[in-house]
Structures are given as structure tokens and as C-alpha cells.
Structure 1
Amino acid sequence: MASVKVLIIEDEELIAEDMANKLTKFGYEITDYVETCADALESIKRTPPDVIFLDIMIAGEYDGIDTALKIKAIEDFPIIFLSNISDSNTLQRALATNPANYLKKPFTPDQLHISVQTALFNHAEKRKIGINDAIVENPEALVRKDKLFLKDANDTYRKYDISNILFIEADRAYCHIYMTDGTKLTQSVNMGAMSVKINHPNLIRVHRSHIVNIDNVDAVKGNVLILGKYEVIVSETFKEEVFKHLPPLL
């Protein structure tokens, strides 16, 4: 029987190496251990794993939860979250991505082994009965042409013009959508999920916490976009792509 391939996404190198050594002793094949979302996506393209260990608090522009959503947008790999935190909001965000398992640090070799077997079993059962990823496949927000459909408190989808959106701001497990008329709409979905769901050329990710409507940018000051009375910072990670959309302002 072929070895189970394991990818480790952990920004503490000593922990990653220790995990790799322990898992290897159980016969698992470590495809890679990486520190950031970008490196993880590249590793997955090179060698698709059978299961992924993912630290919730990895370094870089995307945390582990956002990284999980980006991975699931490629393929629904079984993901085991790693964490030593007990913040309820963070845990809710993590659980909303429908992980295959969750392992609290520190852990023993046996716990690592059991978590892999449990994750593979849970993932197989989920596929057997046809359960899809709760966030990616059950959208609270949908884009159709130039309209954004948002679900309100009464579970009713309401239509908004994309042109009336200024920007979208992350707030833990929620997203706030700021409109040109001054209203603010709140959705029970995190930024990682929101960025996967909305697909419109004018809605551009500019920061870990922000998506802007590029057509509503009034001015640019350094790495700051000005939209009406609001200022949104463009992070280095997104800067090159963002400024491709703003030639008239440069």
C-alpha cells in the first residue's frame, strides 16, 4: 500500500521538523513543510498531499484559516488545524471551513498518528454522503454579472449593484460591506470565504483585511487608496496586482 502523503504548513521550523520526524516513524511520507500560504499552494501544485497539517497562526499575509480556504478552492484536501489558542472567535472561523480534524498543541506522536487516520476517515465519509464544504459551496454572497446578492437576517437574498460598493472589510468571522450611500452591510462570513465567493473584475483584494471596488477609488497616496472619506492601505503582497488596475491615477 502506498504511503500517505502529508504536507505540513507550520511557521515554526523546529515544530515542523519534529512533526515530520514523528510522522515518518509511522510510515507517512512528508511531501514538504512550508511556512506561508504562497509556499503551500506551490507545494500542493508540485506534489498533491493526501492530508494537510495547517497551523492556524502561520506568518505572512494569510493566516491558516484564509490559507485553508485558498487550498479548498483548488481541491477539498483533508485539513487538520493545529493551534495552541482557545479564542472562541478564531475557533469558530476555523470550524466554519469544515476541517477534517483539529489538534491542539502540544501533541504526542500517537496523537499525530490518530489525527491523520481520523482526518482521512472523516474526509472519506464526507465524500461518501456528498457533504460539500460549508463555506465555499454554500454562499452567503453571490455575484451575477454586475449584481451582488447578499443574504439578510430573514434568509432572503437581496440584490445590490456592484457599482455601489466602496470596499469590503474583514472583522474576524464577519465582513462589512461599505456602500456609496453611506450604509454598511454585515455578512456572517470571513474574508477568506468572501474573496473566494465574489468574482468580479472591479472587486480587487488589496490587503488581508480589505477588498475594494477599483472603480470607486478617488485618489492614491503612496500605498493608500482613498474612497470618499475612507482610506484603505494596499499591502506589499497585493501592491503589484492592484496598481495594474490604476494606470489613470499614476
Structure 2
Amino acid sequence: MKKKNILIVEDEPIIAADLQDRLTELGYQVMANVDSGEGAILKVNNQVPDLILMDIKLAGKLDGIETALLLRKTTNASLVFLTSNSDDAMFRRARQARPQAFLSKPYRGRDLVHAIELAIGRASSEQLPVAFAKEDSVQATQDRLFIKVKERLVRLMFTDILYLEADDYYCKVYTKDKEYLATKTLKKISAQLPAESPFFRCHRSYVVNLNRITEISELYVFLDKHKVPLSRSKRAEILVLVNKM
């Protein structure tokens, strides 16, 4: 059977790469990966995909809904919207583009499979990969964090993690050389960390590893070459904690 062609329209590189990897593993053909509505229109003009995965917030002048409405004038390709904003006003706008499904961020593997199969008419539940259904995307133990990357759990020792950054419904985890995207909020990951871990929430959007701090200024914490915002209300507390390390 010929593989279904899917166009990814997503302006966050890490999320776009994750989508492409997941789709490839599920047996689909990724036609292209673009970050703007203008780029999506050019791709569809050259080749119509079986399905378009369209983020609502995009780079460029057009958002995902505007892009989808323009594409609807020339194609009836199946459409799934990706969004972290599900308010009524957005839904009413998006509905005009006649999408087959909505996929809320952060999406789970199970949700991605079901949204695609609903959109292109494939049978769903019997073909759900077990790994998607049973495996948590982030797991913490006493001295390490496991993050799902390409359907494998990558081990990150606490000693190697510099800091964590909130990114809407996701969380970015930084080591000295790499950046990992976790499909779980900073609040939920922080709740999994053991009480005796070296991590401290220095700002509403950042958690830092106290052992990796090299400098502290009035408004920032420095970890090697990385600079992280520091809330004024947290400065006195973090100075005490660092002096105890």
C-alpha cells in the first residue's frame, strides 16, 4: 500500500522534528516540513498531500487558520490543527476551514495517532503502538531524569542538567551541549523531582541546578555560558542555598 503523504506546518523546530520522527516511525511519508503559511501554500501548489498537520501559530504573516482557509480554495486535503490555545473564539475561526480534527499541545502519541487516523479514515485503536499508550514522556528517579526522544527514553543525570525552561505546555531541558523537549509542563516535571535534588525554581519559567551555577547577579543566574532570569524575590534564598552546596 502506498504511504500517505503528510505536510507538517509548524514553526517550532524541535516540535516539527519530533512530529516528523513520529510520523516516519508510524509508516507515513513526510512530504515537507515548513514553518510558515506562505511556505505551506507553495508546497501544496506543487503537490497536494493526503494530510496537512497545521499549527495555528506560525512564522510569517499568515497564521494557520488563515493559511488553511486559503488552501481550502484549491484543495480538499485532510486537515488537522495543532494548537495550545483552545478558546471559543479560536475554535469558531478554525471551524471555518473544515478541519477533520484538532490536536492539543502538548500532544501524546496516542492523540497523534487517533487524530491522523480520524482525518484520513484509517482504522484506529487496534493499530495503536503500545509504547505510546503505556510509557510516560518524562520519568524522574533519585539522581536522573528520563525523557522520551524518538520513542526511546534518554537518561539525563541530574549532574549533567543545567536548567529547565517552561515553554507553554512543554518544557525544555538544557545540558551543556544539548537541548531536549519534554512533552510535559515545567510544573509537572518539578513535582516529580525528589525533595533532595539540587534543583531550585529561580523564576516562574526556570528551574536551575544549584550545583552548576557559576555566577549570580541582581537579575540573572549564570550556568557556564547560559544566562537564566532570576526573580528578585528568589535572590536571597538562592544565595543561601548556593552557599550551603
TM-score by length of 1: 0.47
TM-score by length of 2: 0.48
Larger RCO: Structure 1 or Structure 2 (Cα < 8 Å, ≥ 6 residues apart)? 1
Which structure's CA Rg is the greater one? Answer: 2
